[in-house]
């Protein structure tokens, strides 16, 4: 029976081609838009985690209250001991030390006079410690536009747009002017080893990246760090796990009133991301439901109209003696086959386009020239396991439901009036 119906679908293009095309288009759109909305929203969270919040972050209580001001005078001290404790208590979290700082970047000319200046947002990471994984985590090597990663003390990376603004090249020297942990002035000269473009205007327009050891020397904070950032071994942010780890850690230091005692914050509690995370979950689910429902209505009507157009065919089959139940079952089974064919083709096309969008994305950098928000300038889709089956909801079930409803008319046909209808 299935083989017979399949041959009929393939040979009779008039009754199968249009439904298959409509199903394919509907399933493709469902998958593409679902993957795109999840990719864009997920990328913002991922970028915040990699460059700023981590999945969890440990700071001093005083630092956490004013962390937007980068108060390194309130930073953690004795971080190596604290780091050993964290690695023992939470072995499935990868911990790294980071220091954030802000100051002025001075560019001298050949005579030592200033030829350019600009405010810099600095980040010190463990570049020389290969086991830290910071180079891979921040995609530094793939983000290099010119030059190389720092390999020795006194070398620095700078944002590509920042370098263009200050007319800097690889090998040029810049002097950082700022304040130490103790509040005194500090000056340190760096050699630019490379320029990076992360796709975030916040980083590309004013960032300078140096090794942690250089920052500790420059800011007079040996064995100190502004923050200890933790990343889950799973590679993605897990809200429940982050909450449990943070709660367990904070309970240990709850009895003390020392403002320099460490406190752990999950990603949700940083940068006002709590509302955004809730928004992502609810909006993604709502979007998929609404779009799937809309496509289901379209494909339901396709099945309904397809059944009505064959009203005369069903009458002839009834006049020839075929039972109503057999006609109805064959019509539904045929709708199942058409739905499967269209859904499989649409899923394949949708996944291919989604994967292309995941690799290449849409560059919106020229629309974000004045923003300071930490978000990617390339909007990408994301292929998730759910995309492999979500298209079958409208593509298969809606098509079958439409045919089932239209097929009810078969049981309303009176055999005695069939020949009179056929004569017309």
- Six token digits for residue 258: 């020392």
Q: Is 99 strand, coil or helix?
A: strand
pLDDT tens column, 161-192: 889 888 899 999 999 999 999 889 999 999 99
The distance in angstroms from the start CA to the end CA of the chain is: 32
pLDDT at position 150 is: 93
Instruction: Name the pLDDT band for 234 (thresholds 50, 70, 90).
Output: confident
pLDDT at position 62 is: 92
Nearby residues of 204 by Cβ (< 8 Å), 6 or more positions away: 159, 160, 161, 162, 196, 197, 198
Q: Is 220 strand, coil or helix?
A: coil
- Six token digits for residue 131: 């086991």
> Average pLDDT of the chain?
81
pLDDT tens column, 5-54: 566 566 666 667 777 888 888 888 888 888 887 777 777 788 888 888 89
Q: Is 267 strand, coil or helix?
A: helix
115, 253 Cβ separation under 8 angstroms = no
Nearest CA to 399 out of 295, 299, 292 is that of 299
pLDDT tens column, 78-126: 899 999 999 999 999 999 999 999 999 999 887 778 888 889 889 999 9
- Six token digits for residue 417: 């009036």
CB count in 10 Å sphere of residue 255? 7
Instruction: Name the pLDDT band for 392 (thresholds 50, 70, 90).
Output: confident
Which DSSP symbol is given to 152? S
pLDDT tens column, 132-162: 889 988 888 888 889 999 999 999 999 988 8
Q: Which H or E element spans position 421?
A: helix 418-423
- Six token digits for residue 222: 């040996």
Strands (E), 212-261: 224-225, 227-232
Length of the chain in terms of residues written: 424
pLDDT at position 373 is: 45
Which DSSP symbol is given to 20? H
Sign for the CA dihedral angle at 218, 222, 225, 228 comes to positive
- Cβ burial, residue 119 (10 Å; 0-12/13-18/19+): exposed
366, 268 Cβ separation under 8 angstroms = no
pLDDT tens column, 268-319: 888 777 777 777 667 766 766 776 677 667 766 766 666 666 666 666 777 7
Nearest CA to 390 out of 42, 39, 38, 34 is that of 34
């Amino acid at each position: 029976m299935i083989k017979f119906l399949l041959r009929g679908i393939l040979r009779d293009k008039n009754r199968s081609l249009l439904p298959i095309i409509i199903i394919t288009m509907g399933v493709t759109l469902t998958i593409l838009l679902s993957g795109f909305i999840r990719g864009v929203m997920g990328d913002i969270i991922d970028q915040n985690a990699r460059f700023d919040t981590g999945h969890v972050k440990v700071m001093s209580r005083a630092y956490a209250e004013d962390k937007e001001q980068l108060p390194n005078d309130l930073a953690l001290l004795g971080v190596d001991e604290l780091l050993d404790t964290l690695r023992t208590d939470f072995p499935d979290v990868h911990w790294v030390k980071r220091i954030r700082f802000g100051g002025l970047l001075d560019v001298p000319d050949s005579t030592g006079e200033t030829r350019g200046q600009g405010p810099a947002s600095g980040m010190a990471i463990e570049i020389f410690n290969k086991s830290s994984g910071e180079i891979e985590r921040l995609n530094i090597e793939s983000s290099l536009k010119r030059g190389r990663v720092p390999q020795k003390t006194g070398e620095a990376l700078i944002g590509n747009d920042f370098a263009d603004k200050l007319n800097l090249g690889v090998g040029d020297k810049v002097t950082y002017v700022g304040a130490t942990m103790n509040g005194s002035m500090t000056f340190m000269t760096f050699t630019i080893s490379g320029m990076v473009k992360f796709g975030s205007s916040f980083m590309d327009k004013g960032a300078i990246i140096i090794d942690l050891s250089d920052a500790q020397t420059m800011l007079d904070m040996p064995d100190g760090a502004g923050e200890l950032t933790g990343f889950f071994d799973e590679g993605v942010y897990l809200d429940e796990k982050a909450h449990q780890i943070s709660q367990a850690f904070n309970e240990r230091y709850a009895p003390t009133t020392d403002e320099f005692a460490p406190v752990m914050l999950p990603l949700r509690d940083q940068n006002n991301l709590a509302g955004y995370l809730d928004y992502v979950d609810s909006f993604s689910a709502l979007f998929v439901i609404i779009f799937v429902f809309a496509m289901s209505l379209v494909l339901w009507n396709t099945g309904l109209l397809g059944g009505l157009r064959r009203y005369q065919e069903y009458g002839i089959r009834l006049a020839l003696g075929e039972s109503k139940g057999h006609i109805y079952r064959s019509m539904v089974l045929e709708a199942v086959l058409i739905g499967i064919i269209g859904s499989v083709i649409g899923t394949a096309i949708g996944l291919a386009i989604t994967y292309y969008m995941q690799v290449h994305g849409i560059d919106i950098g020229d629309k974000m020239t004045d923003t300071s928000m930490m978000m990617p300038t390339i909007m990408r889709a994301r292929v998730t396991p759910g995309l492999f089956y979500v298209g079958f909801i409208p593509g298969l079930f809606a098509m079958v439901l439409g045919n089932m409803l239209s097929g009810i008319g078969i049981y309303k046909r009176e055999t005695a009036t069939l020949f009179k209808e056929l004569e017309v």
